[in-house]
Structure 1
Amino acid sequence: MFDKQKVLNKLKDYSPYINGYEYMKRASVLIPIVRKEGESHILFEVRSAKLKHRPCEISFPGGGIEENETAVNAAIRETCEEIGVSGNDIEIIGSLDLLVTPVNYIIHPFAGYLNNASSLRLNSDEVDHVFTVPLKVLLEMKPEEYKNTVNVEPDNNLPFDIIPGKRNYRFEKGTSPVFFYRYNGYVIWGITAKILYNFLEFFR
């Protein structure tokens, strides 16, 4: 028998997330803010050439969210593992907008102050080196912007006979913006640039 009150109670206590998240990969990143010469800088990693996934690219510290781990704890843990700081050196300011990518990733970005950034112990298996960019320089930049087209490729096993239009059904296309920031020979793009763009918009 339908129990209206039970359903209402469940909805009342429910915290919405992303429909279909259980089929997606979840990760967290930290946007580390450091102080240098009296100015706020953003710290970036250059990923090790040893990595199979996105070697030599520029990223923020971060990685996959483990089972029974919160998103913010994952960001702190991954930062500690990658650049050799203590969790006590990280002061989380807050979270930014979630990023859902066309390739089934949910990224949880967090901004935070990173203390003792002058004594990092980089994990050479994951990080080649780090560099910083003054926040005021980033705010003055206008990134190059392009657009990727995202197509739906239907599975051949779909029951086309019950879909209006059958195999001629027109699946919609989407677009995904791609940003590029250039600084002193470094090129920040992809997921990192999207998160950076979202972060910088808070100051505008």
Structure 2
Amino acid sequence: MKADVLRRALLGKTGASSDFDLNPGTVLPPGRILRAAAVLIAVQEFPDGPRVLLTKRASHLKHHPGQISFPGGKVELSDASPTAAALREAHEEVGLPTGLVQVVGSLPSHETVTGFTVQPILAQITAPFSPIPERGEVEEVFSAPLDFITNPANFRVEARFWQGSMRRYYTVPYGPYYIWGATARMLFSLAERLKA
């Protein structure tokens, strides 16, 4: 897969997204302070086509246990940029060498219900590598076909009660993996941009 295919996604017209997009009645507090975070949407070429690197979070974690996510986390004071944070986190969580990553660019930010503004960093993995999950945070490292998880026809909108009210959210289930919430919403934004 050529990086220019991914660069096309940077030209899309979609703006910032949030966990509240499907819940227009949500009233967010004015002046709220969001913490900065970044994730790496890393695409790697395989014989059967391009695939996106994903993780299953460890089941013992206090926040989002067992959920599917991109490698990433909080932007630390020592990080020069959100891109640097995403690359650092990917190296720490799955052992992805920074030298094998060609950054394509940043997608619009995503606000989460947990008070983060997440910067998705779109990148290409340029050579094979063997993932090494950081067992304190990551239960499993896997990849999903880019064509599948960016096909709008594979997305569903589901709902559940959260903090006393019904909340709607995107899902894009893939095999045994239930991809939902912020990860699915960012993938949906990428899908809109790739199909434009």
Q: TM-score higher than 0.5 here?
A: yes
Under TM normalisation by the shorter chain, which class is it?
Answer: 0.7 to 0.9
Q: Give % identity.
A: 28
Matches of 1:183 and 1:56 in 2, distance apart? 15
State the Cα deviation string for residues 129-158 of structure 1 (Å, max 9, x = none).
12211112223333111467999xxxxxxx
Aligned to 1:115: 126
Matches of 2:182 and 2:105 in 1, distance apart? 19
Cα distance change on mapping 1:116 and 1:48 into 2, 3 Å: farther
Cα distance change on mapping 1:150 and 1:132 into 2, 3 Å: closer
- State yes or no: 1:90 paired with 2:90: no
Aligned to 2:18: none
Matches of 1:107 and 1:177 in 2, distance apart? 19
Name the structure, 1 or 2, with higher relative contact order (CA <8 Å, separation 6+).
Answer: 2
Does the Cα contact within 8 Å between 2:58 and 2:139 map onto a contact in 1?
yes
Aligned to 2:155: 143
- State yes or no: 1:58 paired with 2:49: no
Cα distance change on mapping 1:38 and 1:181 into 2, 3 Å: closer
Aligned ranges for residues 154-173 of structure 1 at < 5 Å? none
Q: Provide structure 2 residue ranges, at least 5 long, that are not aligned to the other structure.
A: 1-29
Q: Provide structure 1 residue ranges, at least 5 long, that are not aligned to the other structure.
A: 1-18, 152-174
| Number of residue pairs aligned between Structure 1 and Structure 2 | 163
Q: 2:91 aligns with which of 80, 93, 108?
A: 80
Instruction: Please report how far the alpha carbon of residue 81 of structure 1 lies from its aligned counterpart in structure 2 after TM superposition.
Output: 0.4
Aligned to 1:187: 178
1:50 maps to amino acid: H
TM-score scaled by length of structure 2: 0.74
Instruction: Please report how far the alpha carbon of residue 96 of structure 1 lies from its aligned counterpart in structure 2 after TM superposition.
Output: 0.6
Matches of 2:128 and 2:53 in 1, distance apart? 9
TM-score scaled by length of structure 1: 0.71
Q: SS of the residue aligned with 2:150?
A: helix
Matches of 1:118 and 1:194 in 2, distance apart? 27
Does the Cα contact within 8 Å between 2:110 and 2:119 map onto a contact in 1?
yes
RMSD of aligned Cα (Å): 2.5
Residue range with higher mean Cα deviation, 64-73 or 133-142: 133-142
Q: Greater Rg, structure 1 or structure 2? A: 1
Matches of 1:49 and 1:195 in 2, distance apart? 22
State the Cα deviation string for residues 19-77 of structure 1 (Å, max 9, x = none).
957x2211100111011115111111011123221111100000000115211100000
Q: SS of the residue aligned with 1:202?
A: helix
